Amino acid sequence: MAAEILKRTPLYEEHLRLGAKLVPFAGWEMPVSYPAGILAEHQAVRRAAGLFDIGHMGLIKVEGDGALALVQKAATNDAARLSMNQCQYSLLCNERGGVIDDLLVYRLPMFYLIVANAVNAERVAARLKAFGDNSSVGFYDAYCALSLQGPQACQLAEKVLSAALAGLKKNHAIWWRDIIISRTGYTGEDGCELIVAKTEAAKLWQAFMKEGVQPCGLGARDTLRLEAGLPLYGHEYDESTTPLEAGYGWAVKFDKSEFAGRAALLAEKSQGRKKQLVGIELDGRAIPRQGARVFTVDGRPLGAVTSGTFSPTLRRPVALAYLTAPAAQVAVEIRGAKYSGKVVDKAFRQGVK
């Protein structure tokens, strides 16, 4: 059986020079960590700033007279509410209301830009094309993305780019010298994401490295997003899970025109959810992993873990899990043993002072 040929971002050589540990991820060869380690990378983002290569994410351009109508028919949020250079979180659902992918939708001067997860990029583009009406859909092939995250991120971006970012609001973007800079991220911290020409990506990366910014890999990206309670496709989302179950009903606008999955989601809204995504903080040191079973304190099956890690900030194991009934205390089975835990807000990061 032939080995899978992995794609590489324009920053592959930079990762090699920095001694990154590279792993296969969604068909790409990506850095999971650098020599400093995941803990140092995580803490750099929480305390100062860290830089991520997110060049594997799918950048999809929707343009033409029917671009807005297409986005409205495909995605759950209301793109008609976007002002120029604003973006919103949205979801692409099947007709049963299950999530095909979660997206960022940008309204830019010449087109709508949709950012999809790497594993789903081709599927998302194909589904958008199926909704096409007087518009065109294609990959924004000449560009890739970097994510600079942390309390000092925007200050560093201003210095490196000589761009005025102090007035840039959350979920808004500016176009600066052929770079789209948006105040967005996936870590629970302030920060910005930079959509840059592939030919310029390495130069921009090197400029941040010269400022002492910590390079960060997929490992820290996962611990950071989990502490913030943010969903990851294939864990908290899939085609059998709805946005309402995941707690993202706010990104589903039933008062706009028809969209894929609307009828199923309306029925769910009126009948009630079958499961709900919650956060769990555990006692001890054992780390729950995806699929770990969750029980009531008296041993009745209650659900399963979708993501788990040892939280560097809380200094204890945490997990996201779907439960079929409300509970305050639970038991999580890890390698045959049960560990007690309490159900908390899934945005663990909010509880940290």
Does residue 351 surpass a pLDDT of 70? no
Eight-state DSSP code of residue 28: E
User: 44 Cβ partners below 8 Å, 6+ apart?
Assistant: 36, 50, 150, 214, 216
End-to-end CA distance of the chain: 52
Does residue 210 surpass a pLDDT of 50? yes
Helix axis angle, 218-227 to 38-47, nearest 10°:
50
Distance of CA 324 to CAs 74, 143, 273, 295, 296, Å?
29, 42, 9, 10, 11
Does residue 245 surpass a pLDDT of 70? yes
User: 336 Cβ partners below 8 Å, 6+ apart?
Assistant: none
* Mean pLDDT calculated for residue range 178-190: 96
Identify the CATH homologous superfamily for domain 275-351: Aminomethyltransferase beta-barrel domains (2.40.30.110)
Does residue 270 surpass a pLDDT of 70? yes
Structure confidence at residue 257 (pLDDT)? 86
pLDDT-derived band of residue 273, with 50, 70 and 90 as boundaries? confident
Structure confidence at residue 133 (pLDDT)? 73
d(CA 29, CA 20): 11
Q: Write out the residue limits of the CATH 2.40.30.110 domain(s) in the chain.
A: 275-351
Q: Write out the residue limits of the CATH 3.30.1360.120 domain(s) in the chain.
A: 1-271
What pairs with residue 197 in β-bridges?
143
* Mean pLDDT calculated for residue range 165-178: 94
Residue whose C-alpha is closest to residue 223's, from 309, 315, 314: 309
Structure confidence at residue 235 (pLDDT)? 97
**3-class DSSP assignment, residue 130:** helix
pLDDT in tens, 30-89: 999 999 999 999 999 999 999 999 999 999 999 999 999 999 999 999 999 999 999 999
**What single letter denotes the amino acid at residue 262?**
R
Does residue 153 surpass a pLDDT of 70? yes
Percent of the chain scoring above 70 in pLDDT:
98
Does residue 183 surpass a pLDDT of 70? yes
Instruction: Sort 248 into a burial class: Cβ within 10 Å, 0-12 / 13-18 / 19+.
Output: buried
Q: What is the mean pLDDT of the chain?
A: 95
Does residue 140 surpass a pLDDT of 90? yes
**3-class DSSP assignment, residue 271:** helix
pLDDT-derived band of residue 4, with 50, 70 and 90 as boundaries? confident
d(CA 335, CA 285): 13
Tokens of 3: 């080995």
Tokens of 17: 């020079």
Eight-state DSSP code of residue 233: B
**What single letter denotes the amino acid at residue 1?**
M
pLDDT in tens, 232-244: 999 999 999 999 9
Classified by CATH at the fold level, domain 1-271 comes out as Gyrase A; domain 2 (3.30.1360)
Residue whose C-alpha is closest to residue 185's, from 96, 310, 54: 54
**What single letter denotes the amino acid at residue 341?**
G
pTM (global) more than 0.75: yes
- Dihedral sign of CA atoms 347, 348, 349, 350 in order: positive
Which one is predicted more confidently, 152 or 134?
152
Helix (H) / strand (E) containing 44: helix 38-47
Q: What is the DSSP string of 155-201?
A: HHHHHHHT---TTPPTTBEEEETTEEEES--SSSS-EEEEEEEHHHH
How many of the other CB atoms lie within 10 Å of CB of 66? Answer: 17
Cα 212 from chain centroid? 25
Percent of the chain scoring above 90 in pLDDT:
93
Strands, sheet with 86-93, edge to edge from the N-terminal-most edge strand: 86-93, 99-107, 112-116, 58-63, 136-139
Structure confidence at residue 311 (pLDDT)? 95
Structure confidence at residue 134 (pLDDT)? 73
